[in-house]
Amino acid sequence: MGTTNLMIPPSDDDGATISGGVARNNGDVPLHNRACCVVVEFLVRGTLKSHLIKHMDIKLPYKEVVRFALAMARGLSCLHSRNIVHRDVKTENMLLDGELNLKIADFSVARLEPQDQREMTGTTGTLGYMAPEVLKGKPYNCSFDVYSFGICLWEIYCCDMPYADLSFTDASSAIVLRCCRSAMTRIMRRCWHAGKEAGHGRGGAATRGSRH
């Protein structure tokens, strides 16, 4: 995990609370010299993805969809305001506590956004959530997370995995259900085109979500 090196606040409401950690071997634990272990809170409801799978037949109430979307957007906005790009935003990396409060987790591939975007071109993340510029090996920034957020929003709304029946090539085209509310559709599309539009800098995901 990269939470300690990235200086993520241990008590941030939108991230899993850090309870402790160790960055070196104290003689009692046989750790590699460069090993870093972080102890985080246990979130009893598991991942958001598992919660969605349980509701595949009966979709989530729209208010709950908005609640999850806003919580995720606020968490990402917090990261982006600190120049942190998560780079693996997906429902499997969103955890739920006993009251269904959403927390962002797994910062193993997160990194600070460089001054020069050309320094960040490596392919990372999870297929199906990765922005086109990442798949093509082009430079990217926090818009990578915004695109992934749009995919998660689709998944939360539909309680299904986008592109589940499509090949990798077909999955490059975003799909919006006709039955989806127009306001939600607009947010999804804007997230998927975040890398092409100007003004979608840090905090953009939360701003767009809160307006709808």
- Domains of the chain with CATH codes: 43-210 (1.10.510.10)
Q: Which of 12, 14, 88, 170 is catalytic?
A: 88
88 has catalytic annotation:
yes
Q: pLDDT tens-digit profile of 151-174?
A: 999 999 999 877 677 655 455 444
Query: For the stretch 22-59, what's the b/e string if a residue is b when 16 or more beta carbons lie within 10 angstroms of its beta carbon?
Result: eeeeeeeeeeeeeeeebebeebeeebbbebbeeeeeee
Q: pLDDT tens-digit profile of 115-163?
A: 666 666 566 788 788 887 787 778 878 888 999 999 999 999 999 877 6
* pTM for the structure as a whole: 0.69
